[in-house]
Amino acid sequence: MIKKWALRAIIAYVLFGVFMYAYLYFLADSSIPDALKGTSADPTTFLDAKEIMLSEEYSKFRNLLFFLATPYEWLFYYLILIFGISAKFEDWAKKTTKISIVTTAIYLFWLSLASFLVMFPLSYLSFMMSKSYNISTQTFSLWMKDKLIDFWIEFAISFIVITVLYALIRKFKKRWWLGAWILSVPFSIFMMFIQPVLIDPLYNEFTPLQDKQLEAKILEFADKANIPADHVYEVDMSSKTNSMNAYVTGVGSNSRIVLWDTTLERLSDDEILFIMAHEMAHYVEKHIYIGIAGYLLLTLIGLYITAKIMERWITRRGQTWKVEKMTNISSLPVFLLITSILLFSVSPLTNWVSRYQEVRADTYAIEMTQNKDAGVQTFQSLTKAGLSQINPPYLVKIFRYGHPTMLERIKLIEEYELKQEDNGE
């Protein structure tokens, strides 16, 4: 019976992969509407034929990898449950020590290591493709260093969360999900507070922006936006990527304005100011806090649904999986499987909200800079640097894109200009 269900799961995954390959490579349409051909949103006006070909190839590969990776993770969790591997990890941990918190740490290490090794081929494939398309500039050793930092940071955070979670499950068997949600509120805010000053520096070197004239212009924008920042930081990303980015991160006194060095090297001051105005809009319009509120609401609903499904699954399948009850740490893959499925299912909604906020931020940048040409040039440059599709397929957009497509962003700038002219502004 176990082999039968394992085979069914593998076949389902393969069929899904075949469907997504057919959709992305043969069925989906990513062409530019006739009405926009020859405009600034048409890639033929700012990319050469080779760049257009490369952007299509690279985007299709990345999109396929995205749709393969998530259900691949589900398959991993499912198989280690039905083959009793999760239960074996718990047995190993209990044989090592009788101290509950140490047992949790040992179990979590084995599960994390297994997950890391199983997911590694996809991660490595993504890295090699990024190298071959000249997006990534990292050496393998530096890439592995980041992967290992990821592993230990995720392990440390997971250990804290899982230890508290299972303590709640043992104490409040019917209402543990509510306690977990209540504790997630301060924890989420705390993580956002320490991210810029403790976690981000583990990956990159942050230094004050060397171009003081540009810094003065950015801080002038920040002052208008009431952002509590005295410095602008630049981060060394050219050793890792040819892509460009900038962001405002953190909350309260830990807010930081950050520019990638690749952005500084490739964009003009006007284009950088447009990007910074966009990023500052998220702070001005409280998108960070709206995001926290939305996240907490979805977390409450998600934990409730997870609790109900988890209890039902373990009651029905626990004996087969050798997971005696929910309080066993070996039930963790059940929790992770359910939450991962729920997160993927709700991603079209969260991405839609994010895209709406990004449109608001783009509009704010247009109004603040009054430089629409800089906006168009910025999005064209970002497209070229990242080999992005101008008009990605529909499924890619709703499941992957937290930003509007480049076609939509450039079109917004043009339409906004026309509206101003029509209103006599």
Pairing of strands 232-235, 206-208: antiparallel
Whole-angstrom distance, CA of residue 391 vs CA of residue 32? 7
Place of tokens 């807010």: 255
Q: Is 57 one of the annotated active-site residues of the chain?
A: no
Whole-angstrom distance, CA of residue 229 vs CA of residue 257? 7
Contacts of 381 (CB under 8 A, 6+ apart): 244, 266, 267, 271
Structure tokens at 103: 């047992």
Place of tokens 């048409």: 42
Structure tokens at 376: 């168009």
Check if the beta carbon of residue 72 is closer than 8 Å to that of residue 119. Answer: yes
Report helix angle 332-369 to 100-132, nearest 10: 50
Check if the beta carbon of residue 329 is closer than 8 Å to that of residue 90. Answer: yes
Angle at CA of residue 153, ends 147 and 157, nearest 5°: 145
Angle at CA of residue 81, ends 156 and 172, nearest 5°: 60
Q: Which of 279, 311, 367, 417 is catalytic?
A: 279
Provide the annotated active-site residues.
Answer: 279
